[in-house]
């Protein structure tokens, strides 16, 4: 039996009771669908889309997905199943120019897009979401924090005439607050959860057999383990002596503790807190080293030690000064060539048994992926390939999306029969049929665990094999994931019961529908600022941020007012690298009424910069250059301030106008400008150099000793100047 609908192509979608039940619910209220990968969440989205397009023929469907390959996959599926002209199903990504997106939007019926692109277009006012009758949010578990999903959902509800949101995920997480945040951010009114065990699902699931294969850690590994754990226990004792009690020793808990102490340090700079921070940093490094040893093996640990020896951090120096840590390094180096993790041998054994199957081996670490591929290549008839993300790390180059798709095609055709993958293969990508999924290590994340399992058992019965090293973090990670997954289902069931049964919008949504539509104002914003939350906050005040590559300033409010926005960190960085006063001078030349906003707290406590240097920079900007300084606590307060300035300026009839630097009018200004371009040289130091040496030529030919005689220069800056003016240009 197939679905029959005027907007669904004939005999393309098999009728499944559980899908029809979910669709029946999802067409009434904003719904979060939680179901394993194999259950056809995209098909559910297509069925809901067909219903909405039939009910509201002049509207559009907007589908969001986190990556370009996923966006392409969804567009292909909509073209395969939806009975509308293919040219009306379009893809928006960073590769589509803003002008082209505006043109395509007006003609399209289905837009499949990455959220960052839609967020930028909303902020920039390129088009309205008024005619969108369905917003589909794929991988909806990402709708937390500042991820664009929440922003887009709220703007959609404000703008659209016919609102409906459909969230899709294999797992929103095991943390109750995280699940509730996803639901809040996507304005969810209903939850539909399905598992392989549900009665209406079982007929369509081929089944997944899960096996746990345990291995013993060799005695030689335990010798290294003892050295690292000895240092770890010592540091935990130190923390307790400083009044800091560590209840759990996981990396996550230690990172959370570090964050809390860093916050305390902003208020109270005590030697005890600095000592505690140092201890925690050492414990985090040791925890990571122990995890690599226990779950991955000596080769991966060796590479980690090598990277640590190259760094110059205080933590690395402290560890490398400990004889026990050096002993662990030596043992690792001596044993790594001859002794592999027992998991690797067990993996080879399993692959030999399953040699006629298509297999994915999941591993946390790229270094382990290299070792696994090398081991599997030695098996006759096995053709493994490493599958990693786009980011490059040290000499390890990542794979572009084009390369990833090419590998998947070769995996589908049989050119490769084993995919050795990191987390990039867990989420979303349409990976061809897989018979066996092997976890090289358990992972504490229930989301990722569910996603890994979902790669098999789609069209035929599948198998999942989890490799576990006895008595190690592997066992803790496995049970952590198990309990989180169980808790996730409980929370979702409770949440489902809490939603009102009546078929009407929640009152919380009514406020969005009744928001007054203000006449939009616009300002010019440096394109790099779109990565900050400020432009999206400005939209709440009816201000559209038109992105431009600005030569001067970050926000242009009117022909008179230009604003340079600096976070506290950026402000301090620009003092250190000498660009602060140059930026201020250029801002002053470009606008009759320049402003500088310094955003954030801890101006005098975040860096090891003398308070007098910070005060000196503030005084120079305000008094010498004549730029007013305004201070805000956070991005929201910055947006409120910019909105107030915009309202005042534009109500008086002044509109934004892009400016460059004003031309330097005098010879002296030009000379100061040239000298201020030298490293660590601001306008004040440029004037001092010119007064002493009289000409730029004499400054450039002066020796380090002569330069260092000028007040404020010193030996270090003098050396940098000589290096710049005497080094050959390398292009």
Instruction: Write down the pLDDT at residue 428.
Output: 54
Nearest-angstrom CA–CA distance, 549 and 524:
9
- Tens digits of per-residue pLDDT, 459-484? 667 788 999 999 888 888 888 888 77
Tell me which H or E stretch contains 169.
strand 165-169
In this structure, are residues 117 and 71 in contact, taking their beta carbons and an 8 Å threshold? no
Mean pLDDT value across residues 336-359: 89
Percent pLDDT > 90 in the chain is 44
Q: Do domains 17-204 and 208-215+346-487 have the same CATH topology?
A: yes
Residue 376 reports pLDDT greater than 90: yes
Which pLDDT value is given to residue 501?
A: 58
CA 444 to chain CA centroid, Å, is 19
Q: What are phi and psi of 43, to 5 degrees?
A: -60, -40
The angle at the Cα of 24, spanning 19 to 27, to the nearest 5 degrees, equals: 115
How far is residue 307 from each of residues 303, 313, 369, 709, measured CA to CA in Å? Answer: 6, 11, 17, 41
pLDDT tens-digit map of 143-158: 998 899 999 999 999 9
Identify which of 505, 556, 489 has the alpha carbon closest to the alpha carbon of residue 526: 556
> Any bridge partners for residue 593, and if so which?
561
> How far is the CA of 264 from the CAs of 1, 107, 220, 633, in angstroms?
64, 54, 41, 17
CATH class entry, domain 219-336 = mainly alpha
Query: How many helices (H) and strands (E) in the chain?
Result: 29, 19
pLDDT in tens, 585-634: 989 888 889 999 999 988 887 777 888 889 999 999 999 899 999 999 99
C-alpha triplet 694, 697, 701: angle, nearest 5° = 110
**Euclidean distance between CA atoms 115 and 67, whole angstroms:** 9
Q: Nearest to residue 440, comparing CAs of 294, 540, 584?
A: 294
Query: Is the model's pLDDT at 207 over the cut of 70?
Result: no
Q: Class assignment of domain 521-651?
A: alpha beta
The whole-angstrom separation of Cα 696 and Cα 601 is 40
Look at the alpha carbons of 586, 590, 591, 592 in this order and tell me if their dihedral is positive or negative.
Answer: positive
Pairing of strands 543-548, 561-567: unpaired
Sequence-ordered list of residues with C-beta below 8 angstroms from that of 147, at least 6 positions apart, any chain: 115
CA proximity to 244, closest of 217, 208, 270, 211: 270
Confidence at residue 9, expressed as pLDDT on a 0 to 100 scale? 93
Which secondary structure element, helix H or strand E, spans residue 616, and what is its range?
helix 611-619
Q: What is the mean pLDDT of the chain?
A: 86
Tokens of 615: 């005060």
Residues in Cβ contact with 334 at an 8 Å cutoff, skipping those fewer than 6 apart: none
DSSP 376-436: HTTSTT--EEEE--S--BTTB----HHHHHHHHHHHHHTS--EEEE-GGGTSS--PPP-SE
In contact, 359 and 351? CB cutoff 8 Å: yes
* CB distance 325 to 401 below 8 Å: no
CATH number of the structural domain 17-204: 3.40.50.300
The yes/no answer on whether domain 667-726 falls in CATH 3.90.100.10 is no
DSSP β-ladder status, 561-567 and 555-556: antiparallel
pLDDT of residue 694: 92
Q: Looking at residue 350, what is its pLDDT?
A: 93
Diameter over CA atoms, the chain: 91
Q: Are 314 and 278 in contact (CB under 8 A)?
A: yes
Average pLDDT in the 477-498 region?
Answer: 78
Residue 515 has pLDDT above 80, yes or no: no
Stretch among 177-191, 417-431, 436-450, 661-675 having the lowest mean pLDDT: 661-675
Helix ranges restricted to H, 251-313 = 251-267, 271-295, 298-310
Q: What is the pLDDT of residue 443?
A: 81
Residue range 313-322, pLDDT digits in tens: 889 999 999 9
DSSP β-bridge partners for residue 555: 525, 563
User: What mean pLDDT do residues 448-453 have?
Assistant: 72
β-pairing verdict for 31-34 and 190-193: parallel
Quote the strand ranges of 568-621, DSSP E.
593-599
Helices (H), 652-713: 667-675, 683-693, 696-701, 704-708
Of 63, 156, 158, 77, nearest in space to 109 by CA? 63
- Residue linked to tokens 């070769």: 410
Contact by Cβ (8 Å): 210, 53: no
With beta carbons less than 8 A apart as the criterion, state whether 538 and 545 touch. Answer: yes
* Residue 673 DSSP class: H
Written out in words, the top-level CATH class of the domain with range 208-215+346-487 is alpha beta
Residue 502 has pLDDT above 50, yes or no: no
**Residue 344 half-sphere exposure toward CB, CA atoms < 13 A:** 24
pLDDT surpassing 80 at residue 66? yes
Look at 561 and 429; give whichever has higher pLDDT: 561
* Range in 41-45, 116-120, 493-497, 545-549 the model is least confident about: 493-497
**pLDDT at residue number 514:** 36
Least confident interval from 25-29, 465-469, 678-682: 678-682
Q: pLDDT by residue (tens digit) across 167-184?
A: 999 888 767 888 889 999
pLDDT of residue 731: 59
Q: Contact at 8 Å (CB) between 417 and 358?
A: yes
SS3 for 687? helix
Q: What percent of the chain has pLDDT over 70?
A: 92
Two structure tokens written together for 103? 């043109």
- For the chain, the structural domain boundaries read 17-204, 208-215+346-487, 219-336, 521-651, 667-726
Which pLDDT value is given to residue 516?
40
3-class SS at 208? strand
Q: In this predicted structure, which of 81-85, 218-222, 401-405 has the lowest mean pLDDT? A: 401-405
| 292: Cβ contacts below 8 Å, ≥ 6 apart | 300, 301, 304, 365
Q: Do the bridges between strand 593-599 and strand 561-567 make them parallel or antiparallel, or are there none, so unpaired?
A: parallel
């Amino acid at each position: 039996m197939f679905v029959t609908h005027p907007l669904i192509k004939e005999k393309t979608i098999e009728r499944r009771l559980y899908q029809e039940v979910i669709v029946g619910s999802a067409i009434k209220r904003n719904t979060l669908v939680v179901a394993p990968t194999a259950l056809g969440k995209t098909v559910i989205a297509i069925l809901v889309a067909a219903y909405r397009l039939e009910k509201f023929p002049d509207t559009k469907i907007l589908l969001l997905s986190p990556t370009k390959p996923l966006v392409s996959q969804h567009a292909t599926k909509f073209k395969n199943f939806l009975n509308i002209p293919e040219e009306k199903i379009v893809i928006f990504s960073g590769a589509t120019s803003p002008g082209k997106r505006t043109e395509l939007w007006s003609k399209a019926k289905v837009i499949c897009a990455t959220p960052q692109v839609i967020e930028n277009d909303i902020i920039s006012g390129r088009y309205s979401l008024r005619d969108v009758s369905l917003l589909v949010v794929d991988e909806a578990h990402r709708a937390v924090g500042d991820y664009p999903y929440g922003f887009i959902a709220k703007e959609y509800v404000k703008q659209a005439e016919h609102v409906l949101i459909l969230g899709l995920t294999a797992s929103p997480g095991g943390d109750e607050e995280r699940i509730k945040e996803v639901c809040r951010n996507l304005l969810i009114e209903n939850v539909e959860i399905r598992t392989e065990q549900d009665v209406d699902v079982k007929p369509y699931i081929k089944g997944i057999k899960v096996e746990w294969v345990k291995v013993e850690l060799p005695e030689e590994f335990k010798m290294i383990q003892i050295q690292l754990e000895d240092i770890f226990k010592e540091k935990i004792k130190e923390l307790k002596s400083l009044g800091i009690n560590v209840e759990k020793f996981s990396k996550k808990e230690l990172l959370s503790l570090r964050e809390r102490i860093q916050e305390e340090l902003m208020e109270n700079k005590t030697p005890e807190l600095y000592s505690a921070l140092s201890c925690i940093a050492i414990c985090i490094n040791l925890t990571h080293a122990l995890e690599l040893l226990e779950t991955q093996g000596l080769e991966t640990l060796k590479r980690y030690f090598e990277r640590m020896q190259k760094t110059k951090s205080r933590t690395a120096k402290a560890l490398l000064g400990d004889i026990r840590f050096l002993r662990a390094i030596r043992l690792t180096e001596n044993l790594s060539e001859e002794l592999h993790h027992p998991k690797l041998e067990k993996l080879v054994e399993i692959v030999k048994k399953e040699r006629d199957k298509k297999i994915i081996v999941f591993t946390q670490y790229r270094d382990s992926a290299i070792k696994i591929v090398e081991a599997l290549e030695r098996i006759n008839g096995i053709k493994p390939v490493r599958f990693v993300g786009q980011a490059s790390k040290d000499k390890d180059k990542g794979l572009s999306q084009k390369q990833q798709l090419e590998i998947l095609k070769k995996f589908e055709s049989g050119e490769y029969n084993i995919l050795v993958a990191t987390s990039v293969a867990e989420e979303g990508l349409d990976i061809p049929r897989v018979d066996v999924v092997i976890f090289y290590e358990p992972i504490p994340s229930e989301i990722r665990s569910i996603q890994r399992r979902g790669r098999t058992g789609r069209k035929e019965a599948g198998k999942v094999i989890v490799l576990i090293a006895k008595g190690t973090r592997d066992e803790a990670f496995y049970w952590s994931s198990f309990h989180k997954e169980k808790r996730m289902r409980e929370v979702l069931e409770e949440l489902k019961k809490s939603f009102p049964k009546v078929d009407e919008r929640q009152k919380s949504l009514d406020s969005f529908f009744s928001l007054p539509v203000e006449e939009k104002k616009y300002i010019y914003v440096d394109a790099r600022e779109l990565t900050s939350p400020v432009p999206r906050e400005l939209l709440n005040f009816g201000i559209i941020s038109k992105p431009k590559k600005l030569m001067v300033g970050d926000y242009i409010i009117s022909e008179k007012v230009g604003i340079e926005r600096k976070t506290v960190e950026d402000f301090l960085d620009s003092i250190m690298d000498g660009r602060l006063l140059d930026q201020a001078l250029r801002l002053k030349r470009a606008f009759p009424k320049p402003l500088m906003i310094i955003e954030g707290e801890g101006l005098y406590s975040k860096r090891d910069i003398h308070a007098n240097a910070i005060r000196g920079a503030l005084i120079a900007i305000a008094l010498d250059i004549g730029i007013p300084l305004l201070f805000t606590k956070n991005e929201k307060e910055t947006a409120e301030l910019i909105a107030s300035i915009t309202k005042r300026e534009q109500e008086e009839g002044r509109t934004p106008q892009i400016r460059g630097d004003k031309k330097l009018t005098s010879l002296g200004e030009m000379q100061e400008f040239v000298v201020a371009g030298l490293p660590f040289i601001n306008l004040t130091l440029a004037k001092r150099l010119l007064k002493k040496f009289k000409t730029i030529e004499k400054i450039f030919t002066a020796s380090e000793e002569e330069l260092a005689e000028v007040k404020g220069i010193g030996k270090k800056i003098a050396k940098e100047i000589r290096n710049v003016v005497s080094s050959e240009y390398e292009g």
